[in-house]
Structures are given as C-alpha cells and as structure tokens.
A = this chain, B = another copy of it.
Amino acid sequence: MAGPQGEIETLIGLMARLPGLGPRSARRAVLHLLKKRDLLMAPLAAAMARTAATTRDCAICGNLGSDELCGICTDPKRSTGEICVVEDVADLWALEQSGAFRGRYHVLGGTLSPLDAVGPDDLRIPDLVARVIDTSTTEVILALPATVDGQTTAHYLADALAPTGVAVSSLAQGVPVGGELDYLDEGTITAALRARRRF
C-alpha cells in the first residue's frame, strides 16, 4: 500500500484526466477537497452530477444547455439572419462575453484535420449547409482559429456555402487591442499591414 487508497485513489485518477491537471496536481486538488468535504466536495459532486444529467447539446447549433434548444436559439431578441460559426463551445462563450454579437451560432465541434482523420462529416458541416438553405440566413461569419486547420476549415466552408448564395465573412486579423507591436509575430504584423484602413 503506497499513498492514498481505494476510493481516494480512484478519484485522483479521474481528476488527473482533466485538462491542466496532472497526477500530482490532481492529488493536491483531491486532498484539498477531502479537507473541505462538507463545504466544497459534497456541493461540487452534487453540481457535477446535476449538470451531467441535465446538460444537452442544442439540436440546432450544438451549444450546451439544459433543453432541446439552447437559450440563444430560443431567444426571440436575437437576429436569425446572422450565423456565427465557431470551433467549440468555449469560443461561443468567449464571443458571448464580448457582447458584440447578437445573432445565432453554429458550433462545429472541431476543425478539419487530415492528420487526425477529421473530415467534414465528423463535424456539424452538413447541418450548417442545411440550416443556411432552410432558414432566412443572410450572413455566415466564420470565427474560426487562425491556425492552419482553422483556416483550411474556413476555406472549405466558404466553398460548401457558395451554392447557397449566402454572404460569408470571417473575423478580421490584426493587432490585438492593447497589443505591443514589439511582441507580435510577423504573420500578424503582415496581416494587419495588408488590411490597413484609412485613419
């Protein structure tokens, strides 16, 4: 017998599978929980069980919510004409926190990646094309990561959506707000310079 036993060891093993936690930090986290069994551990376990049982993928956009359709897809105040395409729910949350977009979303669930054998049918791409054809969509905004896979996916989507005649745009590339030129990579500086605007 070495270190923690039985159930505690099982718990550490499960915690270590979370992103950002290794075996050692999972052990630290579990020990912290064990010290606060009533104040933190029991409420956390209950919240986790409840959320696991009630959370569903939105049938329209793929966002997470507690009903068949998410709070954004059922919000009558949000424009139905614009669909913002994101890789992941985390990106949707980031865009929502900016408060700058008042349309609907479409969560792809990843990006095309030939190396990882991720093709169009592994993502929600057919759903997106069908959604654009079936609804009164005027613009699809591609908010995909500025990585090789992200940009490959953006090009693929632009081609796939071309027959529908919908306007397709993508997020501007440039200098981040508060960014020092000195610390930016050459690719960003080149993109910002190419897309320069009259002052």
Contacts and interface: CB of A to CB of B under 8 A. Distances in A.
Given A6-B66, A7-B66, A31-B89, A42 B47 contact: no
Interface stretch (A18-26, A112-120, A133-141): A18-26
A102 to B, nearest CB: 11
Nearest to A64: B34
Interface string A49-70: 1111111000000001110000
A37 B50 CA distance: 11
A87 B85 CA distance: 52
Contacts of A32: 18-19
Contact of A27 (B8, B21, B93, B99): B93
Nearest to A38: B52
Contacts of A52: 33, 37-38, 41-42, 45
Given A18-B33, A28-B182, A34-B89, A97 B2 contact: yes
8 contacts: A4-B93, A7-B55, A14-B44, A18-B29, A21-B29, A28-B182, A42-B52, A42-B53
